[in-house]
Amino acid sequence: MSSDDGKKVPEDSFADKTSVVQSDTFKVRLAQADEAPPCLILLVGPANQIGRQWPIEDTDRIIGRDLSSHIFIDDRSVSKAHAKLLLKGGEVSILDLESTNKTIVNNNILRPLSPLKLKNNDQIKMGNVILKFLERGNIEAVSAAQTFDRGQKDALTGIHNRGALDLKGPEFFKRSLLMGVPLSVITFDIDHFKKINDTYGHPAGDYVLRELAQVVREHLIRENDFFARSGGEEFCLLLLGSEKERAKEIADRIRKTIESHKFEYQGQRIKVTISLGVSSISPDDNSWDHIFKRADEALYLSKTGGRNQVSVK
């Protein structure tokens, strides 16, 4: 094989380069694994939680259906406080808390309140839910965490995706009720986004989506707010602890910031505005879906009322 300048290039040089990259990547993953604490991974259970990982970094970790549980699993077959994890000297044991559907490790039913030391790859069944235990330093923990994180992120914008929103929405709703704090939802989408794609091209539309997500994430929300791309040009923001009026102020600040932001793609200035809808939890709400639906209805009012505005419902 010859290079562009006519010099002979060894046949195995490309293979060597590939193996170096693979080796370096593997070394990074091994280094990450060395730091990985013991953990549980959900194998069977709520569809939007499959693959979720919980590190075990402290003792007395409760597994259960109650939202206050350290490892919260939203499945009716799991007791509110189903089992407890004990960490001592780097070893993890599990203790059934007299649960209704028992705790089963590798097909063996645990005697209530009698701890069992867990071993690498042990499978733990609680009702209809199955978890796997991984010891400290297991490289599979790193791979599983990275796979789950990728599944929760929108590839284009880097923020959370609709699947993550479907998981967090009900969780935030229950947390709001448990803690007695308000929960507000802001939904918004880009005005005349199809026109942007038609006028400037789809790569320009992708740029607008990425830039907008970055501006909102880095400058307009708090660290504990949840921000997701819920559809093509649609976004959703969950504000735990914010009343409706506060959420309306935040929504209007986002609207004004996006309107004044300089969106420029390949030398072309693109005018971007957004329409927003706001809703908050009320005593009549039975589920997360009720709040989200009202926010969507408020967004529709903004769009039919002239766009580039905030509506509350």
Active-site positions read 233
**CA nearest to 257, candidates 245, 236, 272:** 272
Single-letter residue type at 223: E
**CA nearest to 234, candidates 283, 274, 287:** 274
Q: Which residue matches tokens 């102020």?
A: 249
SS (H, E, C) 26-65: HHHHHHHHHHCCCEEEEEECCHHHCCCEEECCCCCEEEEC
Q: Which residues contact 272 (CB under 8 A, 6 or more apart)?
A: 190, 191, 196, 208, 212, 258, 259, 261, 263
CA pair distance 110, 16, nearest whole angstrom: 52
Q: Would you say 183 and 192 are in contact if contact means Cβ atoms under 8 Å apart?
A: no
